[in-house]
Amino acid sequence: MNGSDDDAVRLRSVSRRYGAGDGAVPALDDVSLAFPRGTFTAVMGPSGSGKSTLLQCAAGLDRPTSGSVVVGGTELTGLSERRLTLLRRERVGFVFQAFNLLPSLTAAQNVALPLRLSGRRPARGRVREALRQVGLADRARHRPTELSGGQQQRVALARALITRPEVLFADEPTGALDSRTGREVLALLRDMVDDTGQTVVMVTHDPVAASCADRVVFLVDGHVHGDLATPTATTIATHLTDLETPRP
């Protein structure tokens, strides 16, 4: 797939293998994808299809065995570990199924943490705005144990957004939530794309969650097996069933 200057993330011929020699296991095999700025993309596929590996390579959390990954015009594959860490810290946001909040810190302190780790003193107004963006302006002084699961995930979203990242990666962000709370978190992600032009790339196994995206990309055995634009839960479920049905 050809990329353009409008792409927030671009992968070209990316492969990722674990192990060496004849025992090497391919998690991704010659994957080329582009994620345009200001769009919401869901990545789906059967278990073991390479979804999380794709996310980790695209976000700079893992290095591909071969191929090219570009985030916001910066080629990742040749960066030193230090420069890669700085890029992840300043230009990429992460949200995962596990909220990964520090229990001893308040919501505001958890949100401010990425800025403190980069040596910057977070402005109180900026932290407050990030919490307001996820509907938790009145929970700034609460610790994680004083928040519901959905509220903790919202804090994790605010923490991911505090650096104003070029792209937000989400790995099963609603997997630990009940359906109603999950819908609220998905609505927040959708609003971020529509209202602020945020780029979101989300791995999910849930067709309903994926239907919130602009596009769904399907992986099977480390290969891209098509995509759907303006997807619905029904069309996604049908496509997944076709992918998982053994061929004669």
- Across 105-114, average pLDDT: 94
* Region at 88 (left for phi over 0; alpha for psi -120 to 50; beta for the rest): alpha
Q: Which residues contact 202 (CB under 8 A, 6 or more apart)?
A: 40, 41, 42, 43, 169, 170, 171, 173, 189, 209, 210, 213
Locate all alpha helices (DSSP H) within 92-148, ordered by sequence: 107-117, 124-133
Residue-wise pLDDT tens digits, 56-93: 999 999 999 999 999 999 999 889 999 998 898 888 99
Task: Supply φ then ψ for residue 216, to 5 degrees.
Answer: -120, 125
Chain centre distance of CA 226? 20
What are the structural domain ranges in the chain? 7-244
Going by their DSSP bridges, the two strands 66-71 and 74-75 should be labelled as: antiparallel
pLDDT at 138 over 70: yes
- The pLDDT tens digits of the residues spanning 142-154 come to 999 999 999 999 9
pLDDT above 50: residue 1: no
- Residue 204: is its pLDDT beyond 50? yes
For residue 218, which of 232, 200, 204 has the smallest C-alpha distance? Answer: 204
Q: Tell me which of 3.40.50.1360, 3.40.309.10, 3.40.50.300, 3.30.70.1520 is the CATH number of domain 7-244.
A: 3.40.50.300
Report the mean per-residue pLDDT for the chain. Answer: 91
User: Measured between alpha carbons, how far is residue 222 from residues 34, 64, 91 in Å?
Assistant: 16, 12, 26
Query: What is the spatial distance between Cα 208 and Cα 211, in angstroms, rounded to a whole number?
Result: 5
Residue-wise pLDDT tens digits, 210-226: 999 999 999 999 999 99
pTM for this model (two decimals): 0.90
